[in-house]
Structure 1
C-alpha cells in the first residue's frame, strides 16, 4: 500500500508534518542551467575567496544572533516571509534592472566577481555561486539585509537552500514510504522530520507552527502502527484519540505530500 494512498487519511495527515517551508518552482536553478552535484565552496572560489567568505559569514552570524535575540518568534516569521517575498515575488521581477546593476560596496575583485556571477545565475547564464554551501550559511546570506550581499546573491542563496530542501523532502518521504510498507509505522519518519527542524536556523524555524516540535514529539512517543491501529509507545491510545492528535484538513500545518513529487508553485510562498 502506498503511503500517500487516499484510503489512509491518517498517513496523509502524518506527511503534512514534513515541513512548512515552501519553495520556488524550480528549486536550485534557473531554466537552461545544467545542475551539477553540489561542490564545496573551495572548489568554486579558491583559498582567497573562501577566506573572504568566511569573514563575511562570521560577521553575518553575529548580526543574525543579535537579530534572533531581539525579535519574537512572530516577528522573525514576519521578517522571513518579507525577505522571501522580496527575493522571489513579482516585486523582484519588477526591480530586476536595479538588482542586476547592484554592485557591492567594495574594491575586492573576488567579491565583485561573485556578485556578478550571482547576477548571471539569476539570468540563467551561470551556475549558482553558493552551490554546496551548508543550510546555515545559506540562511546567513539570504536573511542578511546589511548590504554585505547583493539582492541577487541573496536570491541565489535562497534558491540553493530550496534545492537542498527539496532533495531532503524527496529522500525523507521515500524513507517514510519504506518504513510504512515494512513496519506499518512512521515513527522514524517523524524523528527525521524533528531532527531536520531542530537543525534549521531560528528564523526558518519561526515559519513553522509554534507547536510543531511538541506535536512531532507526541507522534514519536506514540509509536503508532497504522496497520494494527495500535499505539506501541509509552502513551497507549486508541485510534480515535490518536487521530485527534494529528493534523486534519483544518490544521495550520502545511500539506507537504505534494512536495514529494513536485515543488510548490511560487504563489504558495506567503
Structure 2
C-alpha cells in the first residue's frame, strides 16, 4: 500500500530476468538418441548392369584358354563391329529393349542416335574394363547398338594412343637412333588390356616379355614379328570405318592408292 500511495508500483521481475539457480537448471538427458542410419545411394541401372557384366567377363576369362578367348573375341567383334553388324544394322536401329525402365530405354535410344552420327556416346566416360565388358558381353543385357557404341569409344581411344605412341617413337629415334623405350611402352600397353582384347590382338600366343635384340622382336611359337608390325597391322587403319557394300559388288576403289 505504501508504494501505491507514493505513486510507485513495485512489479514482479519478468521471467526473462529470473536467474535460475544451478539446482533449478534443466539437466541434460543421459538417454542416447538414435540417429537415422545414413542411406547408401541407390545404384543406377547402368551401374548395376556394368557390375554384373564385369563379373561375367572375369568368370569367362578364367574359364577359357587363351586360344578359345581369342576365337570368341573375334566372333563377338564381327557381330558388333564387322560386316555382320552393318548387314543387320537396320534391325539394330529399330530394336527397342523389352523394359519399362525409362533410363534403359533412353540409353538405348541415345546409343542408336550416336552410331548414326547424332549426339554423344552414352559410354564415353567409362573405363576400358567397363567398355570391354559391354562390347564382349553375351548376356543380351546391352543392345547391339550399345555394344557398337562402346566399341567405337574403344576404337577412338586406340586411334589416339596410336598417334601418341608413333610420335614418341619418332622423337626417340631422332634423339637416340633407337626406339627401346617406345617399344617397351607398346609391350606394356598390350599386356595391360582386358584379357579378351589382348587375346584377340595377339591370338593364342603368350607375349614373351623378354626383349630380344635391337629390334625388340618377340619370340612366338610359330613366327617372329616386331611390336611395331603388330601395331601397324592392328591399328594402322583404325580410324577408317567403312560400311560394307550390301550389293555384293566389288568396291571399285579396292586396291587403289588414294591421291
Please tell me the TM-score bracket, short chain as reference.
0.5 to 0.7
Q: What is the TM-score normalised by the length of structure 2?
A: 0.67
Per the alignment, residue 4 of structure 1 pairs with none
Report the Cα distance in structure 2 between the residues aligned to 1:209 and 1:191, rounded to whole angstroms.
Answer: 20
- Structure 1: which 4+ aligned runs deviate by more than 4 Å? 209-212, 242-247, 250-255, 258-262, 264-267
Match of 2:231 among 245, 249, 256: 256
Report the Cα distance in structure 1 between the residues aligned to 2:116 and 2:85, rounded to whole angstroms.
Answer: 13
Contact 2:92 2:144 in 1 (8 A): yes
How has the CA–CA distance of structure 1 residues 243 and 148 changed in structure 2, closer, same or farther, with 3 Å as cutoff? Answer: closer
1:78 equivalenced with 2:53 (yes/no):
no
Q: Give the CA deviation at 1:84.
A: 1.3
Higher relative contact order (CA 8 A, sep 6+): 1
Q: Number of residue pairs matched?
A: 197
Q: Give the CA deviation at 1:262.
A: 4.9
Contact 2:169 2:182 in 1 (8 A): yes
Per the alignment, residue 207 of structure 2 pairs with 213
Report the Cα distance in structure 2 between the residues aligned to 1:158 and 1:213, rounded to whole angstroms.
Answer: 24
Aligned pairs (5 A) from 1:172-251: 172-207=165-200, 208-211=202-205, 213-214=207-208, 216-219=209-212, 222=213, 224=214, 251=224
Q: Give the CA deviation at 1:193.
A: 1.1
Structure that is richer in helix per residue = 1
Report which stretch shifted further, 166-175 or 176-185.
176-185
Per the alignment, residue 105 of structure 2 pairs with 112
Q: Give the CA deviation at 1:104.
A: 2.5
Bigger radius of gyration, 1 or 2? 2
Per the alignment, residue 153 of structure 2 pairs with 160
Q: What is the TM-score normalised by the length of structure 1?
A: 0.64
Per the alignment, residue 121 of structure 2 pairs with 128
RMSD of aligned alpha carbons: 2.8
